[in-house]
Structure 1
């Protein structure tokens, strides 16, 4: 089974325990481990794959909690850096009456990951590489490290997976800058996962058919467009199909997209060759849809992934 490396942020999410209130009004919060690439790594490990995580946290109580959480999920943390000079990144989130998120982001150690922190020789031994950080491209040195590592691994013919993970809260509406920073990853990736909203963003259109037409220039790549209850659109070498979603009594969709990506990479790690046929990809996406639906049945991200053990 191939080794999979997930690179990006690992942080603490503090969710308000009250519904339909702002952070100003909220009195109590619940601590949870978070970070999109960490969720992907935990998914892979929960399914029985060889997941490795690379990122940086503070050498504080939160950082130790996050490291322990990943290890309990079965993720290898030998590439997790604990920085004594910076605090672990924290996010405070509530959902208001109008459905909009109230969001405060206290960024710390995750943005400080540098090339000097990395054991490149060991990272080169990984087979599948996933870039899917919501924060990695925001500022240096992390953004520079992220792109340099991607280019290095790409030149060595590693299989690259990319999930843009656009968060309007973090980019303050500057979607053009976000797209510009994502372009090298889109060009290098073998597998790309986008939500339907992200597809429209990248294609710079509000017309879904035009957005699909925009995708045709990436025929050499395998692309999955997740559409919630409508299923997942799979595009490869001019072939397009929609793989149905599984019916689910959804409680919380947090981490569903990450579980989808993790389930895809877990299955790819079991193939001798990642050049799958279209029909093989359909089977992979069916399993990934099932994994995403399982996660929606529980609250939280990494905590909800325990449901995936049923799929092993």
Structure 2
């Protein structure tokens, strides 16, 4: 795919949820077995913005929190790693959203307590921020409630108008969005504007049903609009479909300590490499190298990650693929 990289002084602008993650100290399959938790700044868009900054990129966030201790903590953590917080809305009328998450080597269990993140309005989406950006990214979690869903739609419409790349993470969960018919309709509308997407196999099966082959899931996403589909499959690696040209990339061998946030680490590595002008398959090798670092530690990536070292590692690990 001949992907035109637009200009801008912000590499990635994420829109959606910034919240508090309470992640269990124990490695447990369900929250009911956890006893102690540690606080982290969370929310997939916020995590991706933070990871892009850790990789040396310029990132910004549009989201809403409260003005209390949790909102201040989120803003401070984002600023600490270099995320531009000029467009973060802190509102005295709302509380900061909170999620409890199990630490696990597999798919984490979670329970969400939604508040301020869902209250972001279209009027709070800065067109200046869109104009400054190269790629605009959002998650399905953010779409599950209004008015935030309408805010994301406005951001995508502005991004398309200004010729920006548009990325959507279909991290659909029926526990967050029980009305699947409504979710599918909203996703189709947004995917009509999207350029790239990163579904996991879990995401795809929740949306389209279990039992399909990976290539069939990929075709479903292409039919909705994105030209570039990157399907992550955990230990089975990644499939990159570049306008229908499919490449399978095996997973790197790694000892998994904590899988929480792995998808966000992967996508930050991928889009950072993509915005540097690399081809979609090479970007997946870079993303694999980033996620390997995340999987071997509890919590987020290190505060600074050597991007050039990742590119070197990706070149060294590239081998014939099918």
**Alpha-carbon contact 2:124-2:151 (below 8 Å) kept:** no
Partner of 1:222: 228
Query: Are 1:53 and 2:61 matched, yes or no?
Result: yes
Change (3 A) 1:74 1:248: same
Partner of 1:193: 198
**Alpha-carbon contact 1:11-1:89 (below 8 Å) kept:** yes
Among 249, 262, 265, the alignment partner of 2:271 is: 265
CA positional deviation for 1:137 = 1.4
- In structure 2, the gaps of 5 or more residues are 1-6, 311-322
**Alpha-carbon contact 1:51-1:75 (below 8 Å) kept:** yes
Change (3 A) 1:57 1:25: same
Query: Are 1:183 and 2:191 matched, yes or no?
Result: no
CA positional deviation for 1:177 = 2.5
Residue aligned with 1:84, SS = coil
Query: Are 1:158 and 2:164 matched, yes or no?
Result: yes
How does 1:1-312 map onto structure 2 within 5 Å? 2=8, 3=10, 4-20=12-28, 27-94=35-102, 101=109, 103-134=110-141, 136-172=142-178, 174-204=179-209, 206-208=211-213, 209-215=215-221, 217=223, 221-271=227-277, 280-300=279-299, 303-306=300-303, 308-309=305-306, 311=309
Partner of 2:320: none
C-alpha root-mean-square deviation of aligned residues, in Å? 2.6
Residue aligned with 1:48, SS = coil
Normalised to the residue count of structure 1, the TM-score between the two structures is 0.86
Residue aligned with 2:94, SS = coil
Task: Point out the more displaced range, 14-23 or 108-117.
Answer: 14-23
Change (3 A) 1:235 1:21: closer
Task: Point out the more displaced range, 65-74 or 17-26.
Answer: 17-26
Normalised to the residue count of structure 2, the TM-score between the two structures is 0.83
- In structure 1, the gaps of 5 or more residues are none
**Alpha-carbon contact 2:228-2:240 (below 8 Å) kept:** yes
2:62 and 2:282 map into 1 onto residues whose CA distance is 29
1:87 and 1:75 map into 2 onto residues whose CA distance is 22
Task: Point out the more displaced range, 37-46 or 113-122.
Answer: 113-122
CA positional deviation for 1:288 = 0.8
Task: Point out the more displaced range, 144-153 or 13-22.
Answer: 13-22
**Alpha-carbon contact 1:45-1:51 (below 8 Å) kept:** yes
